[in-house]
Amino acid sequence: MNWNKYLAITAVFLTAIGIAFAGMVWKVNEMAESDCQETLQQEVDQLSEDIEKHIASDREQLEVVADILSGYENLDCEEVKNILKSYETRSVISRIYILLPDDKVLLKDGSNVNVEGSLSFEEEMEHGVHISGKEIDLLEGKEVLRHFVPIIKEGEAVGILYGVMELERLPEFWSADAFGGKMSVYLVERRTGDFLMDTWRNKLGNIFEKEYQELGEGYDETKLWKGVMEGEEGYSVLASKENKENLHFYYAPLSVNEWMLAISIQETAVFQNAAETKSMLYSYGGFVVVCFVIYFIGLLWYRRNETNVEKQRLEMVNYIYDVEKTLFSAYRTEDYAVRALEKIGEMTTAEAVFLKIFDSPNEGKLYMWCRNEEKREGLIEVLEANCFFENNFLEEEKSLIWYEAKEKKGKEQKGNDKEARQLLVQADCLTGVMAAKIEDVSGKLIGVLGAVNMVQYWKNPILLENVTLSFSMFYNNMRSFKIIKEMGENDLLTGLLNRNSYQKRILEYPKKYTESIACIYADANGLHELNNSQGHEAGDRMLQCVARLLQDNFGAADTYRIGGDEFVAFDLDRPKEQILDKIKGIDKELERRGYHISVGVHWEEKITSMDDLVREAEQLMYGAKRSYYEQMGRDRRARN
């Protein structure tokens, strides 16, 4: 046997494996950094959207309050002070004050503070509605931003309402969750270079300080800081002196106040998965080189067991991530909340999972997922009997876990009090329960999350506790979205989409149809006369009847109330004859109820302008309205 030959072949083989492994390691590192950049960009985009929505929502609330305040004769009255004192919000604004024309600030306790030299009514009015730069709070000495909204009465500014945003509280509302929450968030004011938020150093400096200036190898320092100050979007790597480690850094401009948002992640976190992958490659290369069967089998067995354990851990983490991801859009579609409960049920091996939201004492909404829908009502009845749906169930503890199974007796049980455990024991269909409080950022109880009859034994309810924050955010998002959407898109009287929705969506219709599009322009005849003769409630009933029939025939998504007695609907890819038949059916039903409308229908196979389409339909409606009133006049003369 030519050992030298085999040694040479082995050496070549090992060299080839080494080169292949080196290439794979390099590729893994490259992919990890690419994935990091993509993740950072996604997190920046999402957080940018959240920040801009928060600021817009706060501004709307301040404008509403300013409009209310403008109705008072004197801003120094008791009613205004009560409004300042009672103002509460779950946003970044912690309190509101009023800056008066004499450069005094009206506080929520009713006192006045002279701020001449610190705040100027005249200067702030020059900027109108705006957010200040980083400033020092007048009372507490904290670093804050001020959100100013003028109070206009009869065309003149009688004061400026402003909300105080404490910079130290911003991380409570604006954070990034990727990479296991290890990411740092920065908010920079481009005009001054001041940091408004810095969760990496936990102190607010300036972007031109020396520790922020050193970049990683291969990155252009001038390009980075020029891009940040000029509002460009980009990716770079900064060298951190504090822990001798690079920070992967993505930045992008916001539409608010020339702010710049950036998110960073430590390099160890970026390459953590890559390190695990390389470790596996090295391990595999080791036992290939050794070629020792017993060792190979033993190592393989060991790795298999380790992989199973790691797989279980990763599955749990993925379940929690899936819950958070599902709840992210649940405020728009509540079915997603039940899907999130289903994922918790899979994770906990529970027979059912419930979420009880307390909107007010002894009231609220119940979401529930159940493996067997036939048992749903029975479980709800038992849970109600055991006070799970009452807002004082977990008064003393943040969570509870209880098992009835005999083999678990003697193990430590965790509960809120003895009485609750006694009640649980009396429930025959319950073999195990875990529950956790859901609280808002102020610590107020807003709901309970629970799992019932878990197959697997859990020592503590940490799986529920880990997702309570996600459900808290779901609750806040759901309430805010519902309020904003209803106020901004729907007509309160008829329930139809309003003029705001009409103007927002009209330009989308040319992209929706394929064969034809029709505009139906309707006007309720005799509304003014009906209001005068029978009252506005009768007129409202007429408008609601017209709206309902139009919506039933042309769909809720394409029917709008654009004025007092005017309605517009669009019908896509339907023959004109069918549309006219629908109009006849609507006329017939309205006539049966004693109502009349004038309708103009303009149908085209290919349009050049939505404005022209609507205008033609409107003119046809006016023609129908003239004909209607001419006929009414002839009928009246004939009767006389």
| pLDDT for the residue numbered 480 | 77
Q: Which of 162, 194, 225 is the last residue of a domain?
A: 162
**Does 462 lie in the same domain as 508?**
no
Nearest CA among 105, 204, 203 for reference residue 146: 105
pLDDT less than 50: residues of the chain: 1-3, 6-7, 292, 295-296, 299, 361-362, 406-423, 425
Together in a domain, 613 and 552: yes
Find out whether 70 and 152 touch, Cβ atoms under 8 Å. Answer: yes
Across the chain, which distance is largest between two alpha carbons, in Å? 129
Do residues 325 and 444 both lie within one domain? Answer: yes
Residue 394, in any domain of the structure = yes
Backbone angles phi, psi at 160, to 5 degrees: -130, 115
pLDDT tens figures, 195-245: 889 888 778 888 777 555 555 555 556 666 677 777 888 888 877 666 677
CATH number assigned to the domain comprising residue 358: 3.30.450.40
**Domains: count for the chain:** 3
338 located within any domain: yes
pLDDT (0 to 100) of residue 292: 43
Same domain, 514 and 563: yes
| Cα→Cα distances 383→356, 386, 448, 471, Å | 11, 5, 12, 20
450 lies in the same domain as 502: no
pLDDT in tens, 314-363: 776 776 778 778 877 766 677 888 888 888 888 888 999 988 888 654 45
Residue 444 lies in a domain: yes
456 and 499 inside one domain: no
Q: Which residues are 602's β-sheet partners? A: 519
Question: With b meaning 16 or more CB within 10 Å and e meaning fewer, what string describes 557-567?
Answer: ebbbbbeebeb
Quote the pLDDT of residue 84. Answer: 86
Q: Are residues 459 and 536 in the same domain?
A: no
**277 within a domain of the structure (yes/no):** no
471 and 336 assigned to the same domain: yes
- Last-in-domain residue among 452, 477, 502: 477
Judge whether 167 lies within some domain: no
**Whether 509 and 598 share a structural domain:** yes
- Phi-psi region at 566: left, alpha or beta (left = phi > 0; alpha = psi -120 to 50): beta
CATH number at residue 114: 3.30.450.20
The strand ranges marked E within 453-542 are 517-525
CATH of the domain at 508: 3.30.70.270
* Res 561: pLDDT: 94
At 160 the pLDDT is: 93
458 and 509: one domain? no
Burial 107-131 (b: 16+ CB within 10 A, else e): bbeeeeeebeeebebeebeeeeeeb
**DSSP 8-state code for residue 329:** T
Tell me which residue range forms the domain holding 499: 490-639
- Domain termination site, one of 162, 193, 227: 162
In a domain, 217, yes or no: no
For residues 420 and 500, state if they share a domain.
Answer: no
Same-domain check for residues 516 and 466 = no
Domain-located, residue 502: yes
Tell me whether residue 616 is in a domain: yes
